[in-house]
Amino acid sequence: MSRTILINLIRFILLVLVQVFLLKNVTLYSLATPYVYILFILLLPFEIPNVLLFILSFILGLSIDAFYDTPGLHAAACTLLAFVRISFINITVQKDGFDNEPEPTLSVMGFRWYFTYVLVLTLIHHFFLFNLEVFSLREIQYTLGRFVLSSVFTVFLILISGLLFFRKKER
């Protein structure tokens, strides 16, 4: 169990540092900004208690908020992401028979499930984040453009990182 805690602690620190020091200033045409830090929430083990998942998600969001000067936006979006993650896993994992798997990674779950998982959760996180940030319907086209392009950019980077660290499943 301590190995899992250590891996997730390192993952938390690395993803926050990559997001803050590398990806904060990476944008495509001022529309697409990748938020790869959500990968921490996505890769937490299946058996993590829900309360701990919400606490870790909130702390991750607050950490990003501290560097982005966004008071609570990322914390709220990450907390919503944790809630949606629980629902998504309850719906898909029991139905597909992945109950004995430790964590939702590309190597464990397969490409189709992992891609759907990452896509759905990223879309919900980004939609909530960008709408909460603007909090107005006046700039709906710009907000929707940012939402779609940032989601595509984020999913692309998450899939690339999943493929880089892909290990064949041991049976």
18-35 confidence digits (pLDDT tens): 999 998 888 888 789 999
pTM over 0.75: yes
Q: What would the two tokens of residue 86 be? A: 């629980």
The count of C-alpha atoms lying within 13 angstroms of the C-alpha of 39, restricted to the half-sphere facing its C-beta, is: 27
Model confidence at 2: pLDDT above 50: yes
Tell me the pLDDT tens digit for each residue of 117-153: 999 999 999 999 999 988 888 888 888 999 999 999 9
